A and B are shown apart, each in its own frame.
Chain A
Amino acid sequence: QAVLTQPPSASGTPGQRVTISCSGSSSNIETNSVNWYQQLPGSAPTLLIYSTNQRPSGVPDRFSASKSGTSASLAISGLQPEDEADYYCASWDDSRSNPGYVFGAGTTVTVL
């Protein structure tokens, strides 16, 4: 199963604010940056957030992210129909036994 924990689904009406949580541990989120990816239906993922809270150029500023301790979150303010997608959090994990880049299982955002 996934190392990071995300809710399987989230939803909102257009214009609403939706928040997605991502829970990890001291070996990943607490000590390393968090990334978020968006995967539109039938498409490859794209980078939404790097360095925990930075948006690549071209990503709308309605997407924001933060972390506190072993948890992180992604917020979508002013939800748009085109935001309907799967969202994955990820981070490097420094565990001694099996270091690697780990993901959450993904959250499907539905625009009602």
Chain B
Amino acid sequence: DVQLVESGGGLVKPGRSLRLSCTTSGFNFADSAMRWFRQAPGKGLEWVGFIRSNMYGGSTKFAASVRGRFAISRDDSKAVVYLEMNNLKADDTGTYYCTRESDFDSSASHWGQGTHVTVSS
């Protein structure tokens, strides 16, 4: 079974940094693009960014709202993907989901359970 487990969430002050991890199993991680999404409390879904497989250069792309502040990296030897969040703002508060990109299109075929991030002083 495909499993994705996020960790690293918590309470952080504005302007500080936080790194989320997503530990995966049950699929060929090295060949998979991975995506991060988030959901503010009581709000809808928002795409954060993705990282391609190293076969496609491991390139990344981000939503405008986080570009320049967030980074995504991957460790294929551990089947883990990371979301590094810097200069955090109150608007970054929410549940962050790690997902595996579908083999067929840009959809997110498998989701983790999410990890909560609260940015507050």
Q: Spell out A's residues near B (CB within 8 Å).
A: 2, 32-33, 35, 37, 39, 44-47, 50-51, 54, 56, 88, 90, 92, 98-106
Q: Is the CB of B47 within 8 A of A101?
A: yes
**For chain B, which range describes its interface: under 10, 10 to 19, 20 to 34, or 35 or more residues?**
20 to 34
Q: Is the CB of A37 within 8 A of B109?
A: no
Task: Identify B97's interface contact among A44, A50, A103, CB under 8 A.
Answer: A44
Q: Is the CB of A100 within 8 A of B61?
A: yes
Q: How far is the CA of A102 from the CA of B16 in the complex (A)?
A: 27
Q: Lowest 5 CB-CB distances: which A-B pairs, in order? A: A101-B47, A35-B107, A50-B107, A33-B105, A44-B111
Q: Is the CB of A100 within 8 A of B64?
A: yes
Q: Is the CB of A46 within 8 A of B105?
A: no
Q: Is the CB of B104 within 8 A of A54?
A: yes
- B45, B47, B102: most-surrounded residue (chain A CB, <10 A): B45
A-B contact pairs, 17 of them (CB 8 A): A2-B44, A33-B105, A33-B106, A35-B105, A37-B45, A44-B112, A44-B113, A44-B114, A45-B111, A46-B111, A51-B104, A54-B104, A98-B64, A100-B63, A101-B50, A103-B46, A103-B47
Q: How far is the CA of A2 from the CA of B111 in the complex (A)?
A: 21
For residue B63, which residues in chain A have a CB less than 8 angstroms away from its CB? Answer: 100
Q: How far is the CA of A96 from the CA of B80 in the complex (A)?
A: 31
Q: How far is the CB of B28 from chain A (nearest CB, A)?
A: 17
Task: Identify B106's interface contact among A32, A37, A39, A45, CB under 8 A.
Answer: A32
Q: How far is the CB of B95 from chain A (nearest CB, A)?
A: 8
For residue B106, which residues in chain A have a CB less than 8 angstroms away from its CB? Answer: 32-33, 35, 92, 101
Using a CB-CB cutoff of 8 Å, which residues 68-121 of chain B contact chain A? 97, 102, 104-114
Nearest residue in B to A39 (C-beta to C-beta)?
Answer: B45
For residue B105, which residues in chain A have a CB less than 8 angstroms away from its CB? Answer: 32-33, 35, 50-51
For residue A106, which residues in chain B have a CB less than 8 angstroms away from its CB? Answer: 44-45
For residue A32, which residues in chain B have a CB less than 8 angstroms away from its CB? Answer: 105-106
